[in-house]
Amino acid sequence: MDRLERFEKALDDIINNYKELGEELEKLRNDGKNKTTKFRELLGKKLVYSMIITIFKRYDLIDKDKV
C-alpha cells in the first residue's frame, strides 16, 4: 500500500467513525443518557473527528458531500 492509499483508508476510517459516533450519541440522547460519562467521552471523540474533517475540507482533501 502506498502513502496515498494509506491516507485515503485513514480518511475513510475517520469519516466512518464520525458517523458511527453520531448514531451512538443519538441513541444515548434518546435514552436520556446525555449526562453520562460515556456520552461525554463519545462527544469529545466526535468533536476531535469533526476538527480533523474540517481541516481536510479546508484544503480540499475531502469531498464536501462525503460527510
Cβ contact 56:62 at 8 Å: yes
In a domain, 64, yes or no: no
14 to each of 17, 31, 32, 35, 49, how far by Cα in Å?
Answer: 5, 26, 27, 25, 6
User: Is residue 39 within a helix (H) or strand (E), and if so which, with residue range?
Assistant: helix 37-58
Number of domains forming the structure of the chain: 1
Expressed as residue numbers, the domain containing 16 is 3-58
Distance CA 51, CA 61 (A): 14
In a domain, 66, yes or no: no
pTM of the model: 0.87
Position 65 scores a pLDDT of: 73
In a domain, 24, yes or no: yes
Position 51 scores a pLDDT of: 97
Position 33 scores a pLDDT of: 97
In a domain, 63, yes or no: no
pLDDT along the chain (67 residues), means of 10: 92 96 98 97 98 93 78
